[in-house]
Structure 1
Amino acid sequence: MAAMPEKDVVLAHDVERGGDEKARRSSLRNSFGGVVSGHDVNAIEGQIFSMNDIDPALDGKMRLVNNAINEIGWTNFHLKMFCLNGFGYMADSLILVIQSIISGHAAAEFKPSFPNGLTFAAYAGMLVGALFWGGGADIIGRRFAFNVSLFVSSVFAIVAGASNSWALLGFFVCMAAFGAGGNLVLDTTVFLEYLPANKQWLVTTLASWWGLAPLIPAAFAWPLFTNSKYSCDPTLPETCTRDNNMGWRYIWFGNGALILLMSIARVTVVRLKETPKFLLGQGKDEEVVANLQSIAKRYNRPCSLTVEKLQACGNITSAHKKGLAESWVHVKGLFATRKLGISTCLIWFSWTLIGLAYPLFYVFLPQYLASRGAQTGEGSQYAVWRNYFISNSVSIFGPILAGWMCTTRLGRRYTMVIGALATMAFFFAYTAVRTASENLGFTCAIYFTVNVYYGTLYAYSPEVLPSAHRATGNGIAIACNRVMGLVSAAVATSANTATSAPIYICAVLYIVMAIVAAIMPFEPYGKSSM
């Protein structure tokens, strides 16, 4: 999308600060091409939505900043950020995958009374982390939360390998998930707030890092779990001791060290400054200009944004309170208009639905197939890990396809519709699986299509949330997802898996997701996020 021609906004002589509000709004509209506030702004000025009726000064400044970001364009800074933010996606996936891979071996050693405890610990940590770091990032800033949350995850992932009891392992897993789950909120937020409008589709492709991550712990687990020197037989817990079952600990040590390296790269490869849109919401115009001008200078790009242009828009009227009061301000800001409130609710509802459907599939389907007598011939460790690698490798390309689809007239909403309906179709087809090749084929298809939907939802959510409250809204959305993860774990503990009901429930949930995506009120295609 071409950037809107830059126009000087000189209101200091036309309207004194604190003067007639109607005159000031009129001057602002004239400065941006005479466009009247409201939904016309979206089509003419290329913004997803307008905040002119809520805070005209912030709306005007946001447009100037978006123009400056578009003027600078894509640089190597953005390429580095794509990788560094992708590390956060990987960390989130790594923690979930590791706990699922090692839980059986760790349980055989510790012999707990509640074998599903690690799943609850991981989802509980990610739930609290999403709310804590998401809400905190709108108060203390993106930069601190972005760097510290990943470091927290790495430390606890490493020490999880030294656990000497099931309860202690659960605590460390919970804390590692607390950091990783919170960091996931910041990955999309930070990356988006530096992107030019014509590259916002790349936020969707970030999810390919999420699909890449499971291959890493699997690369550790395959040789360790197939070697009796490092792994006992989890089906014979009486033979399992620390001495003959160190494999799962080495997985935590190795992957925790990898996450630590990722967190170090974030503060060495790019010395990230606070995002310009967060600074703008805090009224720090000078820092906004200095941040963008430094990027432009480093990569020899134009940037005509000045402090005078921002200050000419006036003072923002958004209230800034402290503590819990400020947190509530950010929640209310997500419902500033009726249309924005509907959008926020639909986003949270979508995350709730996928949070239930996604884990239910992996919890129930193997038991369902076994109960129907499906002979897949995949009992050997070699077949299990081979299929694991193939299906997760295929899933990497789902978000890449979704990113391309988002650049077409399909936009974000109908990319999600297609991804959800395709997943639904493969769910129904999967119930007929009877052979090993069918099992692998349909598993790959579901991994691929669900990531078309999931990857787009990850990107769509921060795109249509207002920047001042983006991390809070995104954090609550992901928290809704984690709550349903806890529900699925509870269902897995007590439900009768001999019935086909969970399979059909999952399919129906994806139909509902498709409908919700189709009625979303905002379409980011060809527009800048606010």
Structure 2
Amino acid sequence: MSYHVYSGEAETREPLLTGGYLEPDHLDSDEGEIIFDRTSNLKHDAVGSTRRKLTYEEAVEEAGFGLFHYLLLVVCGWANASDAVEILCVSFLLPTARCDLQLNSSDMGLLTASIFLGMMVGGYMWGYLADQRGRRRVLVMSLTVNGLFGGLASIAPRFWLFLLLRFISGVGVGGSIPVIFSYFSEFMPRLRRGAMISALATFWMAGNILAAGLAWVVIPNTWAHFQSWRLFVVLCSVPSLTSALLFRLLMPESPRFLMETGQEKEAIRVFQMMYKLNTCGKGKAFRECSLCCRSKKKPELEDSRTLASRKEQLVNIVKKALLPVKQMFKEKLKTRSIALVIVFYCISFGYYGLWMWFPELFERVEDGGSPCANVSRPSPLHNQSCYPVKTAVYMEGFVIAASNLPGNIFTILMMDSTGGKALLCFSLFMSSLSVFLIYLVHTKSQSLILSCVFSGVSVIAWNALDVVGTELYPTQLRSSALGFFTGVGRVAAITGNIVFGKLVDTNCAVPVLLVSGLLLTGGLAALLLPQTRQTELT
């Protein structure tokens, strides 16, 4: 059977990307991947050639898959790794910085919480700006804020100033984490999106290993007139600054964002560049086409003269900024949004609450026993408790960071076939069990083994969330939604670190068992999420 498209009296045949042809009766059908418009999808230029109007998914497929996507993976991956370095570096400097800054356990809880407080503030703000102004611009700005203020923290002479600078650095981290995944996913072909986002998520492990390796090499050494942990902080700011530079010099704006904002010419140029790199300049030129773009957005800001007062202007700005959150909890998005709030809170409290304290807990079991067995601490004024630095603490941190590798490989291989929801539930249930067993063990070696199991299993949940989160919301809400949920996660991380700081010296079992219970709760909530395996981005 043959299928045709009729245009006037002349008969032409327009092939689909997948082969085959369409009858006129099928032109308005919503079935399949391609939606045709009788009046506008076929355009004729001066020489009579036919130009097709491509949807976003069609244009991405037309641009191919290859060198551009691997370059994008490296650049976005390095940015993701830089966020991991900036967040986790605090946990590695605690054993020595607590003496130099004269900190008790409560102060250390505030320090680990400060960056998450900044991320909570920055997450939704940057995500909203990314949906309004563009992904690339926000990534450059947030990564610069992260690296600049993270580096300045190294010269802070007082604890309160160090705390403030870490907070501002966290504002930058809060913007780059959700926006990176929105940006990256919007270049990916549908059938490769799950595996590629999982591959991007593995760079978090690379950042974790880098932070642990730097701590292992730098902190135990003595540097003239400069405390070793301060040099470590400076080095940890370098990845963010270099990432900002790479985005500024090499990367284009997201074509999906450009299409949503009616910038058709700019989107076509991005697809042409992708095609050229993916074919290494050897294939035919990206064919002449037009795109199914939204009409250009009209300026939404009212003339200030029409507003009664500055107060009214402020109220309108706040309402506009909160509109994406209101839309997330409406109709069909409501159930998934509530479930994701629970999941993000539970996994963030558990992962960051426990992970940020691993180096401190392992220092407490240097002489054997379980992490919660040795709870007595010397006064922070006695520097001999911190020096010389015990290198085994950083070696163990490095081993735990490297234990993410099996989980990352498993996610890359299974994401597209199994789907993010199944992997998320499985990971949270296993993470809950591993944390509960950490509480039960009685030797240092057993604690290390179970900590590695927790690390390797919990990373599957994070990778699954990265994939599911980008596929559950439309383009105009995607970055705002991820920013909101990461903000919820930061509230949980702050709570977790404060709880550990308050109870680790008096009743260590309480926060450990609380982490286990919350991870179990998150796994049950994840069962409410829809399956999104290989779904099209809307």
Structure-2-length-normalised TM-score:
0.78
Match of 1:273 in 2: 252
Read off the aligned partner of 1:517 and give its amino acid letter.
A
CA deviation vs aligned residue, 1:119-145 (integer Å, no higher than 9, x gap): 232111111121221111111111100
* Residue 120 (structure 2) pairs with residue 127 (structure 1): yes
Match of 2:110 in 1: 117
CA distance in 1, matches of 2:502, 2:400: 28
Aligned partner (choices 152, 156, 160) of residue 163 of structure 1: 156
- Structure 2 vs 1, CA of residues 141 and 9 (structure 1 numbering), >3 Å: closer, same or farther? farther
Aligned partner (choices 342, 346, 355) of residue 339 of structure 2: 346
Identity score, percent = 19
CA distance in 2, matches of 1:144, 1:29: 44
Match of 1:51 in 2: none
CA deviation vs aligned residue, 1:371-426 (integer Å, no higher than 9, x gap): 4479xxxx982432222111111113322311221121x21110111111221222
The answer to whether the 8 A contact 1:46-1:526 is kept is no
Read off the aligned partner of 1:292 and give its amino acid letter.
F
Match of 1:21 in 2: none
CA drift at 1:335:
4.3
Match of 1:258 in 2: 239
Match of 2:310 in 1: none
CA distance in 1, matches of 2:156, 2:357: 30
CA drift at 1:505:
2.7
CA distance in 1, matches of 2:511, 2:34: 43
Match of 1:289 in 2: 268
CA distance in 2, matches of 1:401, 1:197: 20
- Structure 2 vs 1, CA of residues 97 and 77 (structure 1 numbering), >3 Å: closer, same or farther? same
CA deviation vs aligned residue, 1:124-169 (integer Å, no higher than 9, x gap): 1111121221111111111100112112211112222121221221
CA deviation vs aligned residue, 1:202-241 (integer Å, no higher than 9, x gap): 11222211112122233332243323x34xxxxxxxxxxx
Match of 2:306 in 1: none
The answer to whether the 8 A contact 1:334-1:466 is kept is no
CA distance in 2, matches of 1:111, 1:119: 15
CA drift at 1:303:
4.8
Read off the aligned partner of 2:246 and give its amino acid letter.
A
Match of 1:247 in 2: 228
The answer to whether the 8 A contact 2:424-2:526 is kept is yes
Match of 2:140 in 1: 147
Aligned partner (choices 97, 113, 123) of residue 106 of structure 1: 97
Match of 2:322 in 1: 328
The answer to whether the 8 A contact 1:394-1:448 is kept is yes
CA drift at 1:354:
1.0
CA distance in 2, matches of 1:95, 1:389: 16
The answer to whether the 8 A contact 1:403-1:456 is kept is no
CA drift at 1:180:
1.9
Read off the aligned partner of 1:483 and give its amino acid letter.
V
The answer to whether the 8 A contact 2:434-2:453 is kept is yes
CA distance in 1, matches of 2:348, 2:132: 27
Aligned partner (choices 191, 199, 219) of residue 213 of structure 2: 219
CA deviation vs aligned residue, 1:485-529 (integer Å, no higher than 9, x gap): 1111221233365363433332222222222222212x2213222
Aligned partner (choices 307, 310, 317) of residue 292 of structure 2: 310
CA deviation vs aligned residue, 1:82-119 (integer Å, no higher than 9, x gap): 11111222122111222222244334223357343322
Read off the aligned partner of 1:506 and give its amino acid letter.
V
Match of 2:430 in 1: 422
Aligned partner (choices 506, 510, 515) of residue 506 of structure 1: 515
Asked which structure has the greater CA Rg, the reply is 2
CA drift at 1:351:
0.8
The answer to whether the 8 A contact 1:128-1:178 is kept is yes
Matches within 5 A, 1:223-242: 223-227=217-221, 229-230=222-223
Match of 2:69 in 1: 78
CA drift at 1:470:
0.7
Query: SS where residue 206 of structure 1 aligns?
Result: helix
State the aligned residue count. 464
The answer to whether the 8 A contact 2:346-2:522 is kept is yes
Match of 1:94 in 2: 85
Match of 1:180 in 2: 173
The answer to whether the 8 A contact 2:78-2:239 is kept is no
The answer to whether the 8 A contact 2:82-2:239 is kept is no
The answer to whether the 8 A contact 1:65-1:305 is kept is no
- Structure 2 vs 1, CA of residues 476 and 428 (structure 1 numbering), >3 Å: closer, same or farther? same
CA drift at 1:447:
0.3
Structure-1-length-normalised TM-score:
0.79
CA distance in 2, matches of 1:46, 1:443: 48
The answer to whether the 8 A contact 1:289-1:305 is kept is no
Query: SS where residue 155 of structure 2 aligns?
Result: coil
* Residue 190 (structure 2) pairs with residue 189 (structure 1): no
* Residue 447 (structure 2) pairs with residue 451 (structure 1): no
CA distance in 1, matches of 2:466, 2:527: 16
Match of 1:18 in 2: none
CA distance in 2, matches of 1:28, 1:405: 41
The answer to whether the 8 A contact 1:64-1:305 is kept is no
- Structure 2 vs 1, CA of residues 111 and 415 (structure 1 numbering), >3 Å: closer, same or farther? same
CA deviation vs aligned residue, 1:174-194 (integer Å, no higher than 9, x gap): 122211221111110110001
The answer to whether the 8 A contact 2:150-2:169 is kept is yes
Aligned partner (choices 26, 31, 55) of residue 27 of structure 2: 31
The answer to whether the 8 A contact 1:204-1:403 is kept is yes
Read off the aligned partner of 1:519 and give its amino acid letter.
L
The answer to whether the 8 A contact 1:194-1:275 is kept is yes
Match of 2:529 in 1: 520
Aligned partner (choices 413, 425, 430) of residue 421 of structure 2: 413
CA distance in 2, matches of 1:264, 1:331: 31
- Structure 2 vs 1, CA of residues 214 and 372 (structure 1 numbering), >3 Å: closer, same or farther? same
CA distance in 2, matches of 1:206, 1:512: 27
Query: SS where residue 462 of structure 2 aligns?
Result: helix
Aligned partner (choices 384, 392, 405) of residue 393 of structure 2: 384
Query: SS where residue 203 of structure 1 aligns?
Result: helix
CA distance in 2, matches of 1:104, 1:277: 46
* Residue 378 (structure 2) pairs with residue 369 (structure 1): no
Query: SS where residue 116 of structure 1 aligns?
Result: helix
Bigger shift: residues 399-408 or 364-373: 364-373
Query: SS where residue 300 of structure 2 aligns?
Result: coil
